[in-house]
Structure 1
Amino acid sequence: MTSLKEKVIIITGASSGIGEATAVHLAELQPFLTLTGRNEDNLGKVAKQCEEVGLPAERILLIKADLNVEEDIKRIVETTIKQFGRIDVLVNNAGYGDFTSFADSKLELFDQMMRVNLRAPFYLCQLCAPYLIQTKGTIVNVSSQAGQRAFPNAMIYAMTKAGLDNFTKSLAMELAKHKVRVNSVLPGMTKTAFQLRAGMPPEAYEKYLESQDEKQPLGGAVAPIDVAKAIKFMASDESSFITGELLFVDGGRHTKPV
């Protein structure tokens, strides 16, 4: 994976979970990292972890940003170019979820999830594309196996991820002539705080976690590092002739009936 050395990589949602694991995992390869998220304290902690695995502090750019805010999205790209001068990899990892039934879902919730999970990656790709064309770079969208399955009480979230998967395939075709690759990584239930932030009660979360031993054929919840490894593969030259791909990292759950 030495092809990622010296590359400029933007990771959204880097303050926790999959984004945190990806940042620390890629830091070992000596890239330049732009890490974004809403929690400034957590971003600082992730930066320290990156330094602990050998990445110099001057190679880490922290940007507190809210993907609901258009100006913040612009600032991520503009500040990265100002600091590092190029963009080689965009990892659209940030996501928002909420466990609400169809009947109880408000339009405000629909709009919020669409903005974060679909509109923000679209706009970031649009802003980064000119620089990625220059570097023949790569885009990795972090989707979910929920986008390819029916999920009660997570309908809007699943819709956004289905849209992101189609966007991945469509953009891959459009940017292929520029040698820019676009792929999605689709995790299954991953052991992070995502479900808790989405409103799942702690006791239900523990039961849901335990249920993955049966639901995901390889057994157990996905570890964030396993998703990070897939992101690294898709971002690197190891996947140099792969584009428009949806790579499941779900222990085989997508192969099972709902």
Structure 2
Amino acid sequence: MDIDFKNKVVIVTGASSRIGAEVAKLFARYEAKLVLVGRNEEERLKTVAEDCTVDGLLPLCILLDLTHPGSCETVINKTIELHGKIDVLINGAGKLKMASIFDQSIETFDEIIAINLRVPYYLCQLAVPYLKKTKGNIVNIAASLSHRHISGFLTYNITKNAIQLFTEQAAVEATGEGIRINSINPGCTKTNLLLNMNVEPQNLEAAYKNISKHFPTRLPIEASEVAKLICIIASDLFPDINGSNIGIDGASSAL
């Protein structure tokens, strides 16, 4: 069976990020009808959209902050207004900020919980009535290293562990409706996370090299490889992969 998303409606959040962008481009290659969601990155999202043209038509682009009230509803409502259905939801939006139990404020905790956990949870809730009709599926993006105890990653790891648990529990609840829910758990991947942590572009390669030296392959994961796995899981190739947390990290989590 070949991967085929022709006439299927796919929502990708975090579409202006590297993993999100690679996922979007791959879905476009399989002729999906895309809805691309990004935050405050109009030019980057526009560039991704231009690479995702199908039959001369650009994807629907929605530029907003998903943590703002009403934003998740806007994504679902605009998708239904244009396409009338939802087949796949890719929850790729996320953020990494250093946080510790020794922090003197709760603001970073609230910020990371909001985008990394509350947003995918709520989008899943809103999408489920439409996914019931299409027998569609959801792919959440977690992190394979979230079970390793790394100083400064407290809040981030809490959210990514929670996404994995949410995936398992929600899949059990939704499977009776023909909906599959899985998570992909990448290891250290070349994304925009370090840029968003104010690492200068000219220092990115050195930063990735320094991080990766602690892992078996000594190389970061390519976003395009993660995208391929996401597309495979979201396709109809393996209808019994459900409630799974699937790692792609070069055995890093095994250390």
CA deviation profile, 1:67-122 (whole Å, cap 9, x unmatched): 11131110000000000110000000000111233313621110110010000001
Cα separation, 1, equivalents of 2:91 and 2:52: 19
Deviation at 1:204, TM superposition (A): 7.1
CA deviation profile, 1:199-219 (whole Å, cap 9, x unmatched): 456687544411355433234
Whether the 8 Å contact between 2:37 and 2:63 is mirrored in structure 1 is yes
The answer to whether residue 105 in structure 2 is matched with residue 87 in structure 1 is: no
Where does residue 7 of structure 2 map in the other structure?
A: 6
Cα separation, 1, equivalents of 2:7 and 2:115: 29
State the aligned residue count: 253
Cα separation, 1, equivalents of 2:105 and 2:44: 30
Cα separation, 1, equivalents of 2:45 and 2:113: 24
AA paired with 1:7? K
Structure 1 gaps of 5+ residues are none
Where does residue 242 of structure 1 map in the other structure?
A: 241
Q: How much is the aligned-residue C-alpha RMSD, in angstroms?
A: 1.7
The answer to whether residue 37 in structure 2 is matched with residue 26 in structure 1 is: no
Cα separation, 2, equivalents of 1:104 and 1:81: 42
Identify the range of structure 1 (210-219 vs 200-209) with the bigger mean alpha-carbon deviation: 200-209
Whether the 8 Å contact between 1:96 and 1:198 is mirrored in structure 2 is no
The answer to whether residue 120 in structure 2 is matched with residue 118 in structure 1 is: no
Runs of 4+ in 1 over 6 A off after TM superposition: 201-204
CA deviation profile, 1:34-79 (whole Å, cap 9, x unmatched): 000011221110011112xxx2343611011211113111000000
Cα separation, 2, equivalents of 1:108 and 1:216: 32
- Kindly tell me: are residues 204 and 105 of structure 1, through their superposed partners in 2, closer, same or farther at Cα, counting changes over 3 Å? farther
Give SS of 1:221's match. coil
Structure 2 gaps of 5+ residues are none
Whether the 8 Å contact between 1:190 and 1:223 is mirrored in structure 2 is yes
Whether the 8 Å contact between 1:65 and 1:76 is mirrored in structure 2 is no
Identity rate of aligned residues, in percent? 36
AA paired with 1:40? E
Where does residue 17 of structure 2 map in the other structure?
A: 16
Cα separation, 2, equivalents of 1:149 and 1:238: 32
TM-score by length of 1: 0.92
AA paired with 2:219? G
Where does residue 61 of structure 1 map in the other structure?
A: 60
Give SS of 2:52's match. helix
Cα separation, 1, equivalents of 2:235 and 2:245: 16
